[in-house]
Amino acid sequence: MSDPEHDHDTVLAANQRFYDAFEAGDLDAMSDLWSHGPGTACTHPGWGTLQGWGAISSSWFAIFQGPAPAQFILTNPQAHVSGDVAWVTVDENLIGIHSAQTVAAVNIFERQGGGWKMVCHHGSPVADRDTPDG
Amino acid sequence: MSDPEHDHDTVLAANQRFYDAFEAGDLDAMSDLWSHGPGTACTHPGWGTLQGWGAISSSWFAIFQGPAPAQFILTNPQAHVSGDVAWVTVDENLIGIHSAQTVAAVNIFERQGGGWKMVCHHGSPVADRDTPDG
């Protein structure tokens, strides 16, 4: 029933919808793409982990109220599907008004009702240094 | 075949083995608990994301060569199992020689050969402020 190549593509499409909603500051789209069930968690860069859609939606509301809409250039997306769960690692290159910053992210999706719903987002700032091993 | 409560406990045990290996600086134990298959990724606090066991094992080797062994107090572990994949969010309260730091982590495990193998670890520093929404 599940086609690995198709799954891979639909997971990357779900991942893109997340960043489209983020960039647009669209809380309805964000609500639609997140799971509202158990196991949801969200860690914004520098924040503690938020558990459950209530806390997560409040955080997006607060972020979308902020002054500077983010613009993303996504690089190095890697999706891996295992049954009804998928995880995507991706570099978010954020172009803000005053600065640029790379955030390393992992996003977890769960197959629900035939579609992929986000169950976890974790983003963390990549320190400005030459190489991770340097 | 799969018992949700049992799965929940065995995932938390696998998660604990990861921190035991980390604290002990035990590369053999680390190698044993990580998946060596596709889809593995590791993001240390402030680092870019490493893909694949080769790069990941090198990072642990480098970290274990470092001067100060970390000591962890783990708080608020939340495990969620969906089929053959599980994700755990946990706060790593690191007690170092010179400082204390909280790292928000998400760890992803995949059921392989009847046991849970780590496929993704992502840790990020929690900024020192009163509340995330403050």
Between chain A and chain B, the number of residue pairs with CB atoms below 8 A apart is 126
* pLDDT tens, position by position, B7-45: 999 999 999 999 999 999 999 999 999 999 999 999 999
The secondary structure element, H or E, covering residue A18 is helix A4-24
DSSP line for A19-70: HHHHHHT-HHHHHHHB--STT-EEE-TTSPPEEHHHHHHHHHHHHHHSSS--
Cβ contact (<8 Å) for B41 and A87? Answer: yes
Structural domain contains residue B110: yes
- Mean pLDDT, residues A102-119 taken together: 97
- Tally of domains within chain A: 1
Domain limits for position A24: 4-125
Q: Which residue of A has its CA nearest to B49?
A: A104
Chosen from A7, A58, A124 to mutate, greatest number of chain B CBs within 10 A: A124
The answer to whether residue A15 scores a pLDDT higher than 80 is yes
Q: How confident is the model at residue B2 (pLDDT cuts 50, 70, 90)?
A: low
pLDDT given at position A69: 65
Closest Cα to residue B101, out of B60, B77, B68?
B68
A100 in a domain, yes or no? Answer: yes
User: B129: number of CA atoms within 13 Å, CB side?
Assistant: 11
Average pLDDT value over all residues in chain A:
91
- pLDDT at res. A119: 98
B42 pairs with which residues across the strands?
Answer: B50, B121
Q: Domain with A121 in it: what CATH number?
A: 3.10.450.50
pTM over 0.90: yes
Tokens of B43: 């993001």
Collapsing DSSP to helix, strand or coil, A131 comes out as coil
For chain B, the maximum distance between any two Cα atoms, rounded to a whole number of angstroms, is 48
- Please check whether residue A134 lies inside any domain of the structure: no
Q: In terms of CA atoms, which chain A residue is nearest residue B79?
A: A39
| Interval B74-100 mean pLDDT | 92
A108 to B119: CB separation less than 8 angstroms, yes or no: no
* Residue range A5-16: mean pLDDT, rounded: 96
Tokens of B79: 């495990």
The answer as to whether B132 is a domain residue is: no
Is A89–B51 a contact, with Cβ atoms under 8 angstroms apart? yes
- Across residues A64-82, what is the average pLDDT? 89
On the question of pLDDT at A133 being above 70, the answer is no
- SS3 sequence of B12-55: HHHHHHHHHHHHHCCHHHHHHHECCCCCCEEECCCCCCEECHHH
Distance of CA A110 to the CA centre of its chain: 13
B87 with A48: Cβ contact below 8 A: no
CB A48 within 8 A of CB A59: no
Q: Is the ipTM of this complex over 0.85?
A: yes
| Model confidence at A84: pLDDT above 60 | yes
Asked whether the predicted pLDDT for residue B130 surpasses 50, the reply is: no
CB contacts, 8 Å: A125 with chain B = 46, 124
pLDDT at B129: 56
CA distance B23 to A51: 26
Residue A131, domain member (yes or no): no
Residues of B in contact with A45 (CB under 8 A): 124
A117 pLDDT exceeds 50? yes
- Say if residue B114's pLDDT is above 50: yes
Residues in chain A closer than 8 A to B50 (CB atoms):
132
Angle at B24 (CA atoms; ends B20, B29), nearest 5 degrees = 65
Q: Is residue A32 part of a domain?
A: yes
